[in-house]
Structure 1
């Protein structure tokens, strides 16, 4: 498997995304940070969490053949043990992350998707796999935030309120699930496999990198796969930034973050 990837932090911020790969496996995480003025109960932060969990999961994917959900559960448990003595893991703002895992075996492609990062399989037609439970819940709570211009104090306050409201739905039945401190979240992931000869390529995208299709609607999944194949992941990130720069106040595309960390991995199977 040939893997190329690119990642870029939102302007002026540290990158909370993580991506890494081996010839047989690739993992992408999008860490959920804490808005300014909001507490997390953790001294390490979302970038540390996504990097630490991603590294642990990738190592286990290459060392054993267990189901991906089991490997993710063990990774969550392991990372929690690294900071449960120094941080309040019961805090609702404890660092969390979306997870996409892809593994190539001798005869199949296996995947796992937890939360709203996106996996697109090129199987003749794009097969898009994304867990949209957070978006469904968030839709009823974001009207105030979306009505305000990005970058204003009012929008910043509304975004903080939105994030803190969604915390009450995190990792519980009837809510949405992310990798945080509870290993049982891995059981809620979308998982599957496809025969190796049915998949030509795959794209793993953080929600910052999938924006041109699923938030801005300025392109399509087939065109995105073509762009990745012809010009590589960095070209997709340029498309993201060009769109964001064209609408800095969120008037055309209301959103919580005017600019978001963006990460894309493209795999030739």
Structure 2
């Protein structure tokens, strides 16, 4: 197992709310849901939550290899909750949340879990690729994003519309007809996308936050095969560099309307023997 990891915050003056880590035969990536200065009820912050939950999850999936990934995630959410429920208001509607991607090798297969809009990219040995992304947040967002996308990114009007959009999303979090994401409630883990792939069919496994997938799913500049080519030849840092280059070429969101000019971007590329 050979793993290469790269991560870059959206703003060097702010905490990176992504978290990624690997252990023998396992990897996790989490993208904490930033709230742009809105009160969350948690004194620790989004980066603390995603990092704490990620570390607990990696420990759980490696220590209990026969346990389903969704059960490991539920256990980890419960443990993370216990660490700050006495000091933080976890019933606050904007309490910190995080996407989750987890992958684990066991008995000749790769088990995976995806919750929220981060992605898992599976490269087959025959040269083909498949991506697993939880699109429920995107589907909800499309119904609400109109006022945001009509305005220049970073303008005062855009900031106001973005705050309204995020508030509306919060009301649809972890409920039927909305979307599911890791937060204070362990039951969200049971709504994750899960699957199993024969290990001998895979050449690599890549975990990406949505800030790193923008070249494909938001900017539509490349396909997944080109992403794999970049990862194979130059590595995750080059992929993130190209994302930043595209973002810098459209600083006001005229070509690609988006909530943030830049986003935290993380790539964990796991190459299989």
> Structure 1-normalised TM-score?
0.98
- In 2, Cα distance between the equivalents of 1:129 and 1:251? 28
TM superposition shift of 1:71: 0.4
Q: Give me the CA root mean square deviation.
A: 0.9
Alignment of 1:101-180 (within 5 A): 101-123=102-124, 124=126, 125-180=128-183
- In 1, Cα distance between the equivalents of 2:226 and 2:24? 26
- In 2, Cα distance between the equivalents of 1:236 and 1:106? 32
TM superposition shift of 1:23: 2.2
> Structure 2-normalised TM-score?
0.96
Figure out how many residues of one structure are paired with residues of the other and give that number: 268
Residues 1:195 and 2:198 aligned together: yes
On the 8 A contact 1:2/1:23 being kept in 2, the answer is no
What do the CA deviations read for 1:96-141 (whole angstroms, capped 9, x no partner)? 0000001112301110000100001002311110000011011011
Residues 1:247 and 2:247 aligned together: no
- In 1, Cα distance between the equivalents of 2:52 and 2:135? 25
- In 2, Cα distance between the equivalents of 1:105 and 1:3? 17
- Which residue in the other structure is 1:260 paired with? 263
> Gapped runs of 5+ residues in structure 2?
none
- Which residue in the other structure is 1:97 paired with? 98
Extract structure 1 runs of 4+ deviating beyond 6 A: none
- In 2, Cα distance between the equivalents of 1:210 and 1:13? 21
SS at match of 1:59: helix
TM superposition shift of 1:75: 0.3
- Which residue in the other structure is 2:68 paired with? 67
On the 8 A contact 1:4/1:265 being kept in 2, the answer is yes
